[in-house]
A and B are shown apart, each in its own frame.
Chain A
């Protein structure tokens, strides 16, 4: 079964750094883009951007450019989302998801999702 497994919940203080992970299994992850999606408490889904596990190419939403960093280690099929200095407003659930692609490379949406990582930033 194709899966994305995310790292566990985190509780941090403002100003601290954090790196969360998303590990793919049972598919050739280097052929897909991994997206990061934020859901703040009581709010909707927000697109943060994507990373290609094959070449670590990234595309950030303008709202998140400079606020977070995507990285990847293709040898272990894992994508990462990191912050250098957390703020209380970073408190949210963060999902990774695979951008599905057909045999011709045509994208068809986010077809596999991680379980979500809850990040709480509080002094």
Chain B
């Protein structure tokens, strides 16, 4: 199985500041024939289902604010919130869908400082 790790476990950022979440896969999740990394990022708030923010490592899902961006390829990935808003407080998960079982990272809790 591909193991996903995330860092940090939690972070506190001031409103309007940048938040960065890192994700690493235990093996490459880059599909050579499409040149896409099969990596998604989800936002999960209490009492709600998770929400897809980013897919193929860097493609923003329709309707997701531009302050959310994803980068990386192969085994190392980053989710950036360029200017943290109060409504962004949540747990963020990375998720590989390259090889079954499609595993999640352990999550990173983002809070307001």
Give the interface of A toward B (CB within 8 A). Answer: 35, 37, 44-47, 49-50, 59-63, 95, 97, 99-100, 106-111, 113-116
B38, closest chain A residue (CB): A107
Collect the chain B residues with CB atoms within 8 Å of residue A111's CB: 52, 55, 61
**Residues B97 and A99 in contact, CB atoms below 8 Å apart:** yes
- 14 A-B contacts, Cβ less than 8 Å apart? A44-B93, A46-B104, A47-B102, A47-B103, A50-B102, A59-B100, A60-B101, A63-B101, A95-B50, A97-B49, A109-B55, A109-B97, A110-B42, A110-B50
What is the minimal beta-carbon distance from A117 to any residue of chain B, in angstroms? Answer: 11
Overall SS of chain B's interface: loop
Collect the chain A residues with CB atoms within 8 Å of residue B36's CB: 106
Give the interface of B toward A (CB within 8 A). Answer: 1, 34, 36, 38, 40, 42, 44, 49-52, 55-56, 59, 61, 91, 93, 95, 97, 100-107
Docked pose: A65 CA to B27 CA in angstroms: 23
**Residues B107 and A45 in contact, CB atoms below 8 Å apart:** yes
Docked pose: A45 CA to B55 CA in angstroms: 17
A112, closest chain B residue (CB): B52
> Given A45-B44, A62-B1, A113–B50 Cβ distance below 8 Å?
yes
Collect the chain A residues with CB atoms within 8 Å of residue B93's CB: 44-45
Among the listed A45, A61, A62, A107, which residue makes an inter-chain contact with B50, where contact means beta carbons less than 8 Å apart?
A: A45
Docked pose: A95 CA to B1 CA in angstroms: 21
Among the listed B51, B91, B101, which residue makes an inter-chain contact with A62, where contact means beta carbons less than 8 Å apart?
A: B101
